[in-house]
Amino acid sequence: MIQSAMPTVAVRPTIRLTNRVSAMQESPTLAVLNRATALIAQGVDVVDFGPGEPDFATPHSVAEAGKRAIDRGFTKYTNASGIKSLREAVAARYNKRYGTSLAVEHVITGCGGKQELFNLALALVHEDDEVIIPAPYWVSFPDQVAFAGGRPVFAQTRAEEQFRPTLASIEAVATERTRGVILNSPCNPTGAVIRESELARIVEWCVSRDAFLIFDETYELFVYDGNEHASAARWIEQYPETVILVNSMSKTFAMTGWRLGYAIAHPDIISALGKIQSHSTSNPSTIAQQAALEALTGGNEDAQRMHDAYCERRGWLVPALNDIPGFCCADPDGAFYVFPEVRAFFGKAGITDSQSFASYLLDEARVAVVPGGAFGADDFVRISYATSMERIREGVARMRAALGKL
Ligand SMILES: Cc1ncc(COP(=O)(O)O)c(C=O)c1O
């Protein structure tokens, strides 16, 4: 008889996930994308208003720089925080725009802005610290804070005020445990662009409370109708212990898949982020670093072309949505999203919330939108206009027909 070499184990081993990870939610925006993608893969014609990424190709010169990096063998480890020339290029770009004197030690580059935001939460948020985040918010902010052991606290913004964050709404939820504020302007999902005067007040308040201010300006170049992007960069040298900037190549240079973003902050914060990075991903891809260097040192023509296209789409989309009975869409100043209220449809055809509204549209109109519940605003949905004018017209026509039946 053949004896089994395997010992017999009485107790079945278990997988013991940490509370830290069990408390994390899978990005709900990805869940919608996944369902729409599955339908598209089956050959279903879905108008996809879900994506949070440009529908434009990475600019040719940028892609070529990435190819050149491969051809010349620039494919080995670099400094974990990124090559010096790229960090210098980031600093130079800000110095030119804001008259600052930032240098290499103020900049870290990583695998997307998301990595730097994650590292910042790990570096700055202590157990039970509260971090104030204006709502509606980008989905990763609260989970990153919670993962680091902190508590996200939401400051409500209002559709009537174009969802612009205000100091009053932040002060209303502040406590003695408040450790920081995360602002995102232009905002994903609302498109809100903060006014410089309000930003000034929030910066001063953070300084007076000894709270950090993380300012995520991932969509900085996409601001419309003559409005200006107000950046916290204006205060980074006056308040270097407070102001932290996060930015990304993803949206402005249509480089989402390259995974390259950066943070600008006090050198002590940058070296803390560098330490974390050196033990996690190490350097961002060398190929992406060379491509980003090309993008940052080249002109803004491609970004301007995208800006103009988004501006035209938004100009058509907002009135077209408001023309659908029941839709109520604010006219946001930036990013490539609109965030209409759809509460008027609740109570009809089994629609009870933003999730069931989005499911109804996917089933009945073959249109994918992202439920606002994912962003902390269940009466709303996010519609991305990072898709062609033709598809936008088609999607709106389908929504009008499907919602007209209710
Ligand atoms: C507000 C905001 N911040 C940061 C990011 C992260 O972008 P990435 O990691 O691609 O640089 C995103 C991406 O969707 C975003 O919308």
Q: Per-residue pLDDT tens for 333-353?
A: 999 999 999 999 999 999 999
Residue 4 belongs to some domain of the structure: no
Asked if the model's pLDDT at residue 4 lies above 70, the reply is no
Query: Based on the domain organization, do 239 and 291 belong to the same domain?
Result: yes
pLDDT value for 291: 98
Q: Do 270 and 334 belong to one domain? A: no
Q: Is residue 100 part of a domain?
A: yes
DSSP string, 118-135: HHHHHHHPPTT-EEEEEE
Ligand 1 centroid–CA 190 distance in Å is: 14
Q: Residue with structure tokens 């190929």?
A: 287
Q: What is the pLDDT of residue 29?
A: 57
Can you tell me the mean pLDDT for 167-180?
98
**Residues 220 and 364 occupy one common structural domain:** no
> What does the pLDDT look like over 126-146, one tens digit per residue?
999 999 999 999 999 999 999
393: containing domain: 20-49+302-404
State if residue 52 touches ligand 1 by the CB under 6 angstroms criterion.
yes
Cβ atoms < 10 Å from Cβ of 105: 16
Runs of H (alpha helix) within 109-242: 113-124, 140-147, 167-171, 196-209
Do 374 and 257 share a structural domain? no
pLDDT higher than threshold 70 for residue 18: yes
Q: How far is the centre of ligand 1, averaged over its atoms, from the C-alpha of 114 (Å)?
A: 6
H/E run at residue 401: helix 389-404
Find the helix or strand (DSSP H, E) in which 382 lies: strand 381-384
Give the atom of ligand 1 at the shortest distance from the alpha carbon of 113.
11
Same domain, 366 and 293: no
Indicate if ligand 1 lies below 6 Å from the C-beta of 222. Answer: no
Q: Is the same domain home to 186 and 288?
A: yes
Q: Say if 64 falls within a structural domain.
A: yes
Q: Which residue's CA is minimally distant from atom 16 of ligand 1?
A: 188
Q: How confident is the model at residue 2 (pLDDT cuts 50, 70, 90)?
A: low
* Amino acid letter, 157: T
104 and 160 housed in the same domain: yes
pLDDT of 358 above 80 = yes
- pLDDT for 300: 84
Confidence grade of residue 12 (pLDDT, cut at 50, 70, 90): confident
Ligand 1 atom at minimum distance from 114 CA = 9
Residue 35 pLDDT grade (very low, low, confident, very high; cuts 50, 70, 90): confident
Domain boundary, last residue among 297, 327, 359: 297
95, part of any domain: yes
DSSP state of 380: B
* Cβ of residue 134 lying under 6 Å from some atom of ligand 1: no
Residue 231's pLDDT is 98
Q: Is the pLDDT of residue 11 over 90?
A: no
pTM metric for this prediction: 0.95
Judged by average pLDDT, the poorest of 212-216, 236-240, 274-278, 356-360 is 356-360
Domain boundary among 255, 281, 297: 297
Residues 254 and 184 in one domain: yes
Q: Is the CB of 165 under 6 A from ligand 1?
A: no
Q: Tell me how far the alpha carbon of residue 160 lies from the centroid of ligand 1, in angstroms.
A: 25
Determine the pLDDT at residue 10.
Answer: 81
Stretch 79-99: mean pLDDT: 98
Pick from 164, 180, 200, 194: which is nearest to 126 by CA?
180
C-beta 113 within 6 A of ligand 1: yes
- Establish if 109 belongs to a structural domain: yes
CATH number at residue 84: 3.40.640.10
- Whether 80 has a pLDDT exceeding 90, the answer reads yes
Q: Is the CB of 54 under 6 A from ligand 1?
A: no
| Whether 277 and 130 share a structural domain | yes
pLDDT interval class at 30 (50, 70, 90)? low
Write the CATH number for 378.
3.90.1150.10
In the structure encoding, which two tokens stand for residue 372, read together? 């606002």
Question: Which ligand 1 atom is at minimum distance from the Cα of 256?
Answer: 10
Q: Kindly state whether residues 68 and 194 are assigned to the same domain.
A: yes
* Ligand 1 close to Cβ of residue 114 (< 6 A): yes
Q: Which atom of ligand 1 is nearest to the CA of 187?
A: 1
Beta-bridge partner residues of 367: 47
- pLDDT above 90: residue 329: yes
| Residue 106 counted as domain residue | yes
Q: Which of 281, 301, 289, 286 has its CA nearest to residue 249?
A: 289
At a CB cut-off of 8 Å and minimum separation 6, what does 30 contact? none
Best probe residue, ligand 1, of 115, 140, 253 (max atoms within 8 Å of C-beta): 140
Burial letters 351-383, b for 16+ CB under 10 A, else e: bebbbbbbbbbbebbbbbbbbbbbbbbbbbbbb
Atom of ligand 1 nearest to the CA of 111: 9
Task: List the one residue out of 400, 362, 399 whose CA is nearest residue 35.
Answer: 362
The neighbouring-strand residues paired with 151 are 130
| Sequence-distant (≥ 6) Cβ neighbours of residue 326 within 8 angstroms | 342, 344, 345, 403, 406
Tell whether 1 is covered by a domain: no
Answer for the pair 179, 150: CB distance below 8 angstroms, yes or no: yes
pLDDT, the chain, mean: 94
How many structural domains comprise the chain? Answer: 2
Considering the domain architecture, whether residues 288 and 307 belong to the same structural domain is answered as: no
262 and 207 fall within a common domain = yes
> How much distance in Å is there from the Cα of 6 to the middle of ligand 1?
48
- Give residue 117 CA to ligand 1 midpoint distance, Å: 9
